Amino acid sequence: MPITQQYRPWRFLVLLVTLVLLLVIQPIIRGFSGRGPVFDVLYSLMLIAAILSLFERKWPKTLALILGIPALAGRWLAYTFASTVENVVTLGDQFMEVIFLVFVAVMILRAIVAQPRISADSIYGSICAYLLLGTAWGAIYSVHETIQPGSFAAAGDLTPMLQAADTRESVLIYYSFVTLTTVGYGDITPVSAAARTLSWLEAMMGQFYIAVLVASLVGIRVSQGQVRERTQTHQRIGQG
């Protein structure tokens, strides 16, 4: 059996583990300490797991490699360039990451909807897609703040972290998930018109995601029950 087929049942679970390490465990242990070897290693592992999750079919695999490899390489290019061009490299890297993460999330949701039944793989995939979209929005906010400083305002000790290039992305990923879930603590607020527009768009997307995903999973569940009921009916008729 090919390695890709052996990996397939675990693809979304592996991706979910890397996302939890990056977005949950790492901030709890290190705080919003910014980009560095630990953050970038975990981010790179997440990107690799995302690429591998699409290796089932040829064209998604090809696009995943085309989009994912530059995003992965960009994570580490800043270490080899002088600080005078680091922002340019970071912006390019984040643009590629946004495109790649959104692509992976869409393909995962497409795979879930196409599945004939609800499985653990469906649940893992739906969580992964949600976390990937939240991470992508965080990168979008980071790009916007880098291009137009002062687009976001932060309270307390988050202010210097938002202004510093090495911690900005981590802080805005936090803001992204607070917005995606419509919690809105108010410790980070959008100031510019573009930042406010992006924020309400993300909040709306978060609500639509839950509604559409639940509707899709319920539809699959109902279809799965109908198939089971027809099978049992045919078995009873055959036995009669």
Q: What is the 3-state secondary structure (H, E, C) of 104-124?
A: HHHHHHHHHHHCCCCCHHHHH
The CATH number of the domain holding residue 22 is: 1.10.287.70
Task: Write down the H helix ranges in the chain.
Answer: 3-7, 11-20, 26-30, 37-52, 58-77, 86-114, 120-147, 158-163, 165-180, 193-239
Confidence class for position 197, pLDDT limits 50, 70, 90: very high
- The tens digit of pLDDT for each residue in 86-145 reads 566 678 788 888 999 999 999 998 888 777 777 788 888 889 999 999 999 999 999 999
Domain span at residue 134 reads 3-239
What is the percentage of the chain residues whose pLDDT exceeds 70? 82
- The tens digit of pLDDT for each residue in 150-195 reads 999 999 889 999 988 788 888 999 999 999 998 888 899 999 999 9
pLDDT of residue 211: 82
| Angle of CA points 19, 159, 177, to nearest 5° | 30
How far is the C-alpha of 197 from the C-alpha of 57, rounded, in Å? 36
How far is the C-alpha of 151 from the C-alpha of 140, rounded, in Å? 12
Residue 68 near residue 47 (C-beta atoms within 8 A): yes
How far is the C-alpha of 210 from the C-alpha of 217, rounded, in Å? 10
- Give this prediction's pTM: 0.85
Pairing of strands 152-154, 188-190: antiparallel
Q: DSSP letter for 150, please.
A: T
How far is the C-alpha of 54 from the C-alpha of 211, rounded, in Å? 25
Domains in the chain, number:
1
pLDDT of residue 131: 95
- The tens digit of pLDDT for each residue in 9-32 reads 788 999 999 999 999 988 888 777
How far is the C-alpha of 92 from the C-alpha of 75, rounded, in Å? 10
How far is the C-alpha of 188 from the C-alpha of 163, rounded, in Å? 12
Mean pLDDT of the chain: 83
